[in-house]
Amino acid sequence: MEERLLGSEAKYESNLKGRIWTESKKLWRIALPAMLARVSQYGMFVVTQGFIGHIGDVQLAAYALIQIIAVRFANGILLGMSSATETLCGQAFGAKQYHMMGIYLQRSLLINIATGTVLLPVFIFAGDIFKLLGEDSDIAAKAGYISLWFIPILYFFVFCLTIQKYLQAQLKNIIVGWLSAVAFVMHVILSWIFVNLLNLGIPGAMGAMIIASWFIVIGEFVYLFGGWCPNTWNGFCLAAFVDLLPVLKLSVSSGVMLCLELWYNAILVLLSGYMKNATTEISAFSICLNIISWEFMLCFGFLAASSVRISNELGKGDAKTASFSVKVAIITATIIGTFFFIICLLFSHGITKIFTSSEEVISSVSSLSVLLALSVFLNGLQAVLSGVAVGAGRQTLVAYVNLCCYYIIGIPVGVLLAYVADMKVKGIWIGMMVGVATQVLTLGFITYKTDWDQQVDEATARLDRWLLKPSDESTGN
């Protein structure tokens, strides 16, 4: 009897290891291309900051303002709204409603193009906006000039992000990873030629980023229209204009969920601009945020992977596999977060020299190294838990969590520590950490209490409600 029990335990342990290995392969199949894409795409912003940072401190601070506030503002909305595509296409793929995925893509593109156009005034009048907010006049004026160069990048977000979500939902995002990697190399070469050899300054740095970014978008369209998605793309159809309102509602809740998270850091950078030594404080804080954001691009791979895995399994109706996938993703994110925690503690001083040669800024960044490392560790858990919510279509719930944790807890704590306790940038950062830690704990508790059978029922009801028969696509009936 005892031998039978031991044999049963060994079989279960072996089976568990096999399940973990199988699930890990599925996660990494999505995560690796997503990581490559996000790191390469964000890397172009970091490379541009590096070239502009060596032009001058004012230019660096101005670029930091426009990138972390205006660009993050727009990217937060568009990336968040694109996660509606991720939810709908992921669940449709799991349910084998392949023909609906192309329709969901077209609906999301219509909504996101309109949204991007509404956001245009933010970039056109960025300089005046920063002056009204009380930022340093020289920095605000230069930021207003740089913001005009970001208008083509705004529409890059619209097309690239939406198509990327559509492709990764059907496990075809490897093409986006390779396009992004090639674009990154192209961007580095063009930046060096335009800025260092031709001495074109800001126009050269921004022009290189525009060319490299749109190379990705053109490549995605070639892949989409070239017949590499035969089951999910049947061409443009009138059905794209049907049920736009419910898709818009899900897109808005998705946008609010993510932009509340991305705006959080932007508001903290804005607060650092009101300190006495604004140029140094903004530059130091923005460099730390860029290091975090670059690492967070890796975490976005797990956000994408957990989202696709959960949405696919919910679409299939498999609640147990969805729950198991969540556990494997959280364990993997924790291991990776620990690795980057150690890296940031050891090499933060050397990394800072990539962005600036100012000893004052380098010293300021070095004093934040412990907080930087802790933030990097929390990023992985935050991304996986957010990805689980996106996969289940629970963006509205997460939006409320982000609002409370970041804006009711994190920012007030940061303001008190920075201005009342006179801890300056370190105080703002501690406030940010408190908000992120509270969010991770809250989302962790919600995920732990989730009834996955109920989530399957909700996903099935959503897909059935919006389902169109293949013969109805062209007429939109």
Q: Which pLDDT band holds residue 440 (cuts at 50, 70, 90)?
A: very high
Is 418 contained in some domain?
yes
Q: How far apart are CA 280 and CA 272, in angstroms?
A: 9
Domain extent at residue 363: 29-472
Q: What value does the mean pLDDT of the chain take?
A: 82
Q: How far apart are CA 251 and CA 245, in angstroms?
A: 10
Q: How far apart are CA 68 and CA 161, in angstroms?
A: 18
Lowest mean pLDDT among 108-122, 282-296, 406-420: 282-296
Is 5 contained in some domain?
no
* Lookup: tokens for 174: 């490897």
The pLDDT of residue 271? 67
The pLDDT of residue 475? 45
The pLDDT of residue 5? 39
Mean pLDDT of 414-434: 82
**Residue 291 clears pLDDT 80, i.e. is over it:** no
Is 291 contained in some domain?
yes
Q: How far apart are CA 449 and CA 101, in angstroms?
A: 30
Is 211 contained in some domain?
yes
Mean pLDDT is highest, among 59-68, 382-391, 445-454, for 445-454
**Residue 37 clears pLDDT 60, i.e. is over it:** yes
**Residue 275 clears pLDDT 70, i.e. is over it:** no
Mean pLDDT of 277-293: 66
* Lookup: tokens for 342: 């150690």
Lowest mean pLDDT among 118-122, 184-188, 269-273, 457-461: 269-273
The pLDDT of residue 387? 86
Number of domains in the chain: 1
Lowest mean pLDDT among 15-29, 249-263, 311-325, 382-396: 249-263
Torsions phi, psi for 451 (to 5 deg)? -95, 105
The pLDDT of residue 180? 94
Q: How far apart are CA 455 and CA 452, in angstroms?
A: 5
Is 7 contained in some domain?
no
Mean pLDDT of 98-110: 90
Is 272 contained in some domain?
yes
Q: Which pLDDT band holds residue 181 (cuts at 50, 70, 90)?
A: very high
The answer to whether residues 417 and 428 touch, using CB atoms and an 8 Å cutoff, is yes
**Residue 56 clears pLDDT 70, i.e. is over it:** yes
Q: How far apart are CA 389 and CA 384, in angstroms?
A: 9
Is 276 contained in some domain?
yes
Lowest mean pLDDT among 21-30, 72-81, 209-218, 436-445: 72-81
Mean pLDDT of 138-144: 86
**Residue 12 clears pLDDT 50, i.e. is over it:** no
Lowest mean pLDDT among 3-12, 182-191, 444-453: 3-12
Share of the chain above pLDDT 70, in %: 84
Q: Which pLDDT band holds residue 310 (cuts at 50, 70, 90)?
A: very high
The pLDDT of residue 273? 61
Is 392 contained in some domain?
yes
Share of the chain above pLDDT 90, in %: 23
DSSP per-residue codes, 118-150: HTHHHHHTHHHHHHHTT--HHHHHHHHHHHHHT
